[in-house]
Amino acid sequence: MIKGETHGTASNDPRGGLKDCGDAPLARGLPIFPALRAKPAVKLRILVKSWGSSVANHASPAANAETAGDEPTRRDFIYVATGAMGAVGVAAVAWPFIDQMSPAADTLALSATEYDLAQVPEGQQVVIFWRGKPVFIRHRTPAEIAAAKKDDAASMRDPQTDADRVIQANGQPGKAEYLVVEASCTHFGCVPTFGGGSFGGWLCACHGSVYDTAARIRSGPAPQNLIVPPYTYTSGTVVKIG
């Protein structure tokens, strides 16, 4: 008997026309799947890749033929559809957690602070809080401003002119007499005190950083000038920080 003669033949043989050939032992073990006897390539795919889903698809030879031609496309579609459904499910579950991280309206309102600089006498400073951080607002004297401008061209670790130090967040020039800076040393965050050091400005006693009257770092370990928060003037003397 020549192998392959019996593939796909109809006969009265209760074994579906199967003879002793290379495929017969495998097919004999699965008598309920006539398609497995008819198409060896499909049979192998069914056995190796998709045992469970193949049961329904191989109820008839016609269905099997259709499956043999279309199966990859359908499977791809199922994969894509399953992936898309999974992504939608993850997004639906994750959204409440993401959404709760958005700041509430009252929190956003607190993110900006307004202050009337007219409350600060010349030569004095106040500490206000913006987003929980202390901020110095200093009403500088003409002598402090002059000292800062005189050193604009000096060698500095974090070079900035005095005009740079009072510029508004919108890029417009500020007022030289009012210096607004965060009250945290840029070394490790201590609060400097005014009047110490050799530059007439602030001294951070924690490790000896010295800032001048424009709050620029002049000596000590701090790497940067005191930070100027974003602010704009909303009227003649009222600033909005943040």
Catalytic sites, residue numbers: 207
Which residues, listed in sequence order, are joined to residue 130 by a DSSP beta bridge? 133
With CB under 6 A as the contact rule, the residue among 181, 204, 239, 241 that binds ligand FES is 204
Through-space distance between the first and last CA atoms of the chain, rounded to whole angstroms: 91
67 binds ligand FES (CB under 6 A): no
With CB under 6 A as the contact rule, the residue among 54, 57, 67, 209 that binds ligand FES is 209
With CB under 6 A as the contact rule, the residue among 35, 42, 117, 222 that binds ligand FES is 222
Cβ 221 to ligand FES shortest distance, Å: 5
171: three-class secondary structure by DSSP: coil
Cβ 226 to ligand FES shortest distance, Å: 10
- Measured from the CB atom, the residue of 120 and 217 that comes closer to ligand FES is 217
Could you say which residues in the range 164-203 bind ligand FES, by CB under 6 A?
A: 185, 187-190
- Does residue 233 contact residue 220 with C-beta atoms inside 8 Å? no
- Does residue 211 contact residue 194 with C-beta atoms inside 8 Å? no
Q: Which residues bind ligand FES (CB under 6 A)?
A: 185, 187-190, 204, 206-209, 220-222
